[in-house]
Amino acid sequence: MTSLAATPWKESQGTCACCGNTSKTIWGDLSDDQATHAVYYIQWTVDSPDHYPSIDLIIGPWGDGADADQRVLACLRFRPAPDGGSFMVIDAGDRRRSNKPLFTRSLRRDEVVGTPLASQVFQLVDAIWLTDPRIEEVKALCQALPRQ
């Protein structure tokens, strides 16, 4: 993949069922000069660093001639920390059920970690982190945590 950039699409908000704070979801695509490589969804609860933000990546070709059989879902959690935080691949299992027509398989953690796909997944996350300005609110969760 060459230089990837996020193209923001839309966003929505609701109320977190467990704490009552506002929850937000943003989504868009990740593309380079040649093609779109993934669509992403990021969900977090405002002012709640203990509700780890989720990142869902629908990876594979998009556009003319591409279909859901060529795409998979990989999911990560972001754990905010005063030093910037970290990402962890999680089982995609029950995430993004409403988007199931967009992909055919939800990947388990062991199908990503330690495989060639892991490098691609983290390149995609880096592109979101560096090029979608809406992610600043998630980054700010790190600043809200006390230094230990």
Instruction: Indicate the domain borders of the chain.
Output: 5-143
3-state secondary structure 53-81: CEEEEEECCCCCCCCHHHCEEEEEEEECC
Provide the token pair at 67.
């279909």
Provide the pLDDT confidence category of residue 145 given band limits of 50, 70 and 90.
low
Q: Which tens digits make up the pLDDT trace of 74-101?
A: 999 998 888 788 999 999 987 766 667 8
**Average of per-residue pLDDT across 58-75:** 94
Q: How far apart are CA 139 and CA 136, in angstroms?
A: 5
Q: For residues 57 and 73, is the Cβ–Cβ distance under 8 A?
A: yes
pLDDT of residue 147: 59
- pLDDT for position 1: 54
pLDDT digits (tens, 9 = 90+) for 34-60: 999 999 999 999 888 788 899 999 999
Region 13-28: what's the mean pLDDT? 93
pLDDT at 81: 82
